[in-house]
């Protein structure tokens, strides 16, 4: 301790960045009887996202409680405001308390003595909405929720990060609440030592950073170690950006040369870069013939006040580009047990999707991208896409979801997996957490890898030192272990970029999901190399953005509808018509397959779309609790004035706008007390039959001349004859210059979810591939089949047909 300024000099451990990784590392350090100093420039924890937490973290907290008790005795354990001993594991979770709408500090203080910080996961759901055999298809897998441990057990802490990440998540909690739990413990320990004049175990410097001047921050020592000096900061919001400057008249604080320092400051660390650390893009080979591609995906995040509850719900669905290629996109809904104000929904943006207001026709060509009109239209496209996608996973209609209060987002950002080559950046320093490498965040893998994995490697470092291992050897082992943990995360998360089954369901559960959906986990979606993909105009997600709230006033939903067994695109004529219109002009890749089939025969085992739900029904539930709820869709004509958004391509003055058309933009949101929160109970709806759609591509030369939509009732093909009153559904006159097509040439119709074609005794015959059709004998049509109506050539297309493996046996 420096007696002149009260600073711990040459600490055993110095944490640069006080996220979960480094705070856990500080706790392990103190538990091993050593001193730890922490430096953080952003002040109090604020990260707003919700984490899915593996049970290993709970067991680690229990072990820390035990080690600190054994190391220092009960007298030097921090106490909560209510006088009770501060036990980390007990505040985190206990069978004697409950989950709910909590304030972390109230639980920690003991003011709220009835609740703990985390919620348990009561429902684990996986929705597979990918198309199969050219049709929308839904498979819902409902898994048994993990059983929370009754008490901490150090023997259950796994040392392999692959095993940790392959295991299911047990708890859910706001990231800031977990970080506050750790921070308050460290703060109280620091305060306790000061008040009782004990040798300090902890010292925290919040609103501080390493001095930015190259020669004054990290000072090189002759033995390769770094001496570190820090400075106090002031933070300002300058024109929408957080700016940090050195506090006027403040003195540089010399922390000396720590035995070990660790940089864990988020995915982009300037301190690590100053020490020569570099990350590189992670490439993944999906065995799809295209070689290694950069692991990248784009997402939107938003916080909706919907009671998702103690639920982990994942969804994967099919999106199609203009060439008809299928891409798999994911959504996740995470809540908090008994808290209706927590509904984090993250949705993936297809690689081919753009949000260009000019392309969308919302503003005219040449509109200045910096103009209010362009920005408003861009935000409109972002919000609409997010609501449509969130509605699919929440089973709430977009119209109803727009009325729900939204506290954060939607924010668009891009995730690119990156990792460094070596964690060691100085003889006494390493890089850890997201600063070393980052994988797919939807699994909360980053938090788990840092807090459970990297931090525990610091414990191993001190254990090695106690065994007599030299600092040089121990830190080399530490750096290698950090890299090993991160590579485990990257390996496990690679499947999130193409395979269907999500990581945080666990390896055994992934196999169960695969069997239920009939699609092997090795099946791949089309992925676009980051270097070749059509780029979005994306704004990187600044960590400080989590502190920027933008409230969309609305209601709070306390009931989440039950999952519907039908695919969203198979529920109503209105939804199907909208979907058909969106794909009307899409060309598809050919796949010529010809097969004979008796029209009266039933589909075989491999031809059936099978939907199985593994439900854990409670026989004691009331009828109202067992009702399957389903949203309906509204057209824009049914929207009330308050629900409509009017976008104009050219600015109008206020004199030209009616009262209802004016939009007022404010720099800050209204106070929370002015927001009226209403509880809405959603009623049950009746499912409707599925609809199937197809098109005929009429070809002329090398080009597709026209797309002809085929409706579900079946259609006749030919040339009209007004005198005889013959009017076929599809008129080929303009493509038949020689008059070779008969008046009623052929018919295409749907039977048992299959399309069939039959020749209607035409003069010049109908050919399906090389097969000349026998009149009035139906033949099955498959996606990509070439059909000749006399001299007119056409290709039959099923919407969304994709090459997928044969279904697994349903067992």
What confidence tens digit (pLDDT) does each residue in 215-244 have?
789 999 999 999 999 999 988 777 667 788
Q: Which pLDDT belongs to residue 550?
A: 57
- In angstroms, rounded to a whole number, what is the distance separating the alpha carbons of residues 109 and 740? 87
Residue 498: pLDDT band by 50, 70, 90 thresholds?
Answer: low
Average pLDDT over residues 10-23: 97
**What average pLDDT score do residues 663-684 get?**
37
Whole-prediction pTM: 0.69
The whole-angstrom separation of Cα 753 and Cα 604 is 12
Which of 135-139, 322-326, 457-461 bottoms out in mean pLDDT, i.e. has the lowest?
322-326
In the numeric block, the tokens 């007004």 are attached to 722
Residue 202 reports pLDDT greater than 60: yes
User: Residue 319: its pLDDT value, please?
Assistant: 87
Lowest mean per-residue pLDDT among 31-35, 154-158, 251-255, 491-495 = 491-495
Reported as a pLDDT band with limits 50, 70 and 90, residue 558 is low
User: What is the residue-averaged pLDDT of the chain?
Assistant: 78
Cis peptide before 410 (omega within 30 of 0): yes
Residue 537 pLDDT > 70: no
> Predicted confidence band at 639 (pLDDT cuts at 50, 70, 90)?
very low
Q: Which range (129-138, 338-347, 763-772) has the least confidence? A: 129-138
Residue 443 has pLDDT above 60, yes or no: yes
- What pLDDT, on a 0 to 100 scale, did the predictor assign at position 613? 39
225-239, 553-567, 575-589: which has the minimum mean pLDDT?
A: 575-589
Is the pLDDT at 450 greater than 90, yes or no? Answer: yes
Task: Provide, rounded to the nearest whole percent, the portion of the chain with pLDDT above 70.
Answer: 72
What class does CATH assign to 572-621+687-811? mainly beta
* Residue 14 clears pLDDT 90, i.e. is over it: yes
Percent of the chain whose predicted confidence (pLDDT) is above 90: 45
> Which position has the higher pLDDT, 468 or 653?
468
Mean pLDDT check: name the lowest of 13-17, 509-513, 746-750. 509-513
Range 286-313 average pLDDT:
79
How confident is the model at residue 737, as a pLDDT? 85
Quick check: 767 pLDDT over 90?
Answer: yes
Half-sphere exposure of 620 (CA within 13 A, CB side): 0
Which range has the top average pLDDT, 235-239, 390-394, 475-479, 670-674?
Answer: 475-479
* 615, 619, 620, 622: CA torsion to nearest 10: 70
User: Worst-scoring range by mean pLDDT, 321-325, 688-692, 723-727?
Assistant: 688-692
- Same CATH topology for 13-121+157-281+418-490 and 572-621+687-811? no
pLDDT recorded at residue 290: 57
Task: Give me the residue spans of the domains in the chain.
Answer: 13-121+157-281+418-490, 572-621+687-811
**Would you give the end-to-end CA distance of the chain in angstroms?**
67
On the question of pLDDT at 346 being above 70, the answer is yes
Instruction: Write down the pLDDT at residue 236.
Output: 78
Evaluate if residue 478 carries a pLDDT over 70.
yes
DSSP assignment of 506-569, as one string?
-HHHHHHHHHHHT--TT-------TTTSPPP-PPP--GGGGG----B--BBB--PPPPPSS-GG
Nearest residue to 345 (alpha-carbon basis) of 399, 404, 302, 389: 302
CA angle 236, 242, 248 (to 5 degrees): 40
Task: Classify 105 as helix, strand or coil.
Answer: helix
Structure tokens at 794: 């056409």
Instruction: Give the pLDDT band of residue 489 (cuts 50, 70, 90).
Output: confident
Mean pLDDT value of segment 12-22: 97
Among the residue ranges 38-47, 118-127, 642-651, 712-721, the one predicted with the least confidence is 642-651
Average pLDDT over residues 4-16: 90
Q: Is the pLDDT of residue 508 over 60?
A: no
pLDDT in tens, 304-331: 988 888 988 999 998 887 777 888 888 9
Between 33-42, 286-295, 473-482, 747-756, the lowest mean confidence (pLDDT) is in 286-295
DSSP, collapsed to helix, strand or coil, labels residue 788 as strand
Task: Please determine, for residue 747, whether its predicted confidence score (pLDDT) is greater than 90.
Answer: yes
**Topology (CATH level 3) of domain 13-121+157-281+418-490:** FAD/NAD(P)-binding domain (3.50.50)
Of 95, 96, 409, 461, the residue nearest 261 (C-alpha): 461
pLDDT of 279 over the 70 cut = yes
Q: For residue range 409-426, list pLDDT tens digits in order.
A: 898 877 777 889 999 999
- CA angle 502-614-119, nearest 5°? 60
Is residue 807 pLDDT above 50, yes or no? no
Secondary structure of 369-435 in HEC code, one letter for each residue: CCCHHHHHHHHHHHHHHHHHHHHHHHCCCHHHHCCECEEEEEEEEEEECEEECCCEEECCEEECHHH
- Is residue 515 predicted with pLDDT exceeding 90? no
Query: Average of pLDDT values for 623-630?
Result: 37
Is pLDDT at 83 greater than 50 in this prediction?
yes
């Amino acid at each position: 301790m420096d007696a002149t300024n009260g600073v711990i000099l040459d600490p055993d451990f110095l944490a640069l960045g006080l996220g979960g990784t480094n705070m856990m590392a500080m706790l392990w350090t103190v538990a091993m009887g050593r001193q730890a100093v922490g430096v953080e420039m952003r002040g109090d924890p604020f990260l707003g996202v919700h984490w899915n937490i593996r049970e290993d973290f709970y067991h680690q907290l229990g072990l820390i409680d035990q080690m600190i008790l054994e190391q220092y005795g009960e007298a030097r354990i921090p106490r909560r405001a209510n006088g009770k001993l501060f036990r980390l594991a007990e505040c985190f979770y206990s069978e004697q308390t409950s989950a709910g709408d909590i304030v972390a500090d109230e639980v920690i203080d003991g003011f709220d003595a009835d609740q703990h910080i985390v919620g348990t996961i009561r429902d684990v759901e996986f929705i597979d909405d990918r198309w199969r055999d050219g049709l929308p298809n839904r498979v819902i897998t409902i898994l048994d929720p993990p059983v929370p441990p009754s008490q901490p057990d150090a023997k259950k802490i796994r040392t392999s990060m692959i095993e940790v990440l392959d295991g299911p998540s047990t708890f859910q909690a706001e990231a800031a609440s977990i970080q506050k739990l750790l921070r308050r413990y460290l703060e109280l320990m620091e305060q306790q030592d000061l008040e009782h004049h004990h040798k300090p175990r902890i010292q925290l410097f919040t609103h501080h950073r390493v001095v930015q001047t190259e020669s004054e921050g990290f000072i090189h020592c002759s033995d390769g170690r770094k001496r570190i000096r820090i400075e106090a900061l002031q933070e300002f919001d300058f024109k929408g950006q957080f700016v940090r400057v050195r506090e006027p008249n403040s003195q540089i604080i010399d922390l000396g040369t720590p035995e070990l320092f660790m940089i864990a400051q988020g995915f982009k660390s300037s301190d690590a870069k100053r020490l020569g650390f570099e990350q590189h893009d992670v490439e993944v080979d999906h065995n799809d013939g295209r070689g290694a591609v950069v692991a990248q995906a784009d997402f939107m995040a938003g916080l909706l006040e919907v009671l998702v509850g103690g639920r982990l719900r994942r969804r994967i669905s099919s999106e199609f580009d203009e060439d008809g290629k299928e891409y798999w996109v994911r959504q996740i809904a995470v809540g908090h047990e008994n808290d209706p104000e927590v509904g984090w929904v993250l949705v993936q943006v297809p690689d081919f999707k753009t949000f260009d207001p000019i392309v969308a026709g919302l503003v005219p060509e040449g509109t200045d991208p910096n103009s209010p009109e362009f920005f408003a239209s861009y935000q409109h496209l972002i919000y609409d896409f997010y609501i449509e996608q969130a509605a699919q996973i929440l089973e709430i209609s977009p119209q109803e979801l727009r009325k729900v209060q939204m506290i954060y987002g939607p924010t668009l950002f891009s995730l690119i997996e990156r990792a460094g080559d070596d964690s060691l950046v100085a003889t006494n320093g390493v890089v850890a957490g997201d600063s070393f490498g980052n994988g797919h965040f939807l699994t909360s893998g980053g938090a788990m890898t840092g807090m459970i994995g990297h931090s525990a490697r610091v414990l191993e470092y001190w254990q090695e030192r106690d065994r007599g291992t030299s600092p040089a050897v121990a830190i080399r082992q530490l750096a290698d272990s950090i890299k090993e943990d991160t590579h485990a995360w990257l390996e496990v998360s690679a499947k999130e970029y193409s395979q269907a089954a999500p990581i945080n369901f666990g390896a055994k559960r992934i196999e169960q999901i695969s069997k239920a959906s009939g699609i092997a986990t090795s099946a791949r979606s089309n992925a676009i190399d980051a270097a070749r993909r059509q780029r979005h105009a994306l704004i990187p997600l600044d960590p400080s953005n989590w502190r920027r709230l933008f409230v969309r006033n609305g209601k709070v939903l306390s009931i989440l509808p039950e999952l519907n067994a039908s695919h969203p695109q198979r529920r109503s004529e209105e939804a199907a018509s909208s979907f058909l219109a969106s794909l009307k002009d899409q060309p598809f890749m050919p796949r010529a397959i010809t097969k004979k089939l008796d029209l009266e025969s039933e589909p075989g085992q491999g031809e059936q779309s099978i939907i199985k739900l593994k439900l854990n029904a409670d026989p004691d539930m009331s009828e109202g609790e067992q009702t399957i709820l389903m949203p309906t869709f509204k057209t824009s004509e049914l929207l009330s004035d308050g629900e409509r958004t009017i976008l104009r391509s050219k600015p109008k003055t206020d004199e030209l706008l009616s009262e209802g058309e004016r939009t007022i933009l404010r720099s800050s949101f209204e106070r929370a007390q002015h927001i009226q929160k209403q509880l809405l109970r959603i009623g049950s709806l009746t499912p409707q039959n599925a609809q199937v759609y197809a098109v005929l591509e009429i070809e002329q030369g090398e080009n597709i001349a026209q797309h002809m939509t085929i409706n579900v009732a079946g259609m006749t093909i030919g040339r009209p004859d007004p005198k005889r009153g013959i009017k076929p559904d599809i008129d080929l006159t303009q493509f038949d210059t020689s008059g070779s097509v008969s008046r009623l040439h052929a018919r295409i119709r749907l039977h048992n979810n299959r399309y069939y074609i039959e020749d209607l005794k035409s003069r010049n015959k109908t050919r399906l591939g090389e097969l000349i059709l026998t009149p009035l004998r139906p033949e099955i049509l498959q996606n990509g089949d070439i059909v000749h109506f006399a001299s007119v050539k056409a290709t039959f297309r099923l919407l969304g047909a994709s090459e997928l493996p044969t279904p697994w046996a349903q067992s």
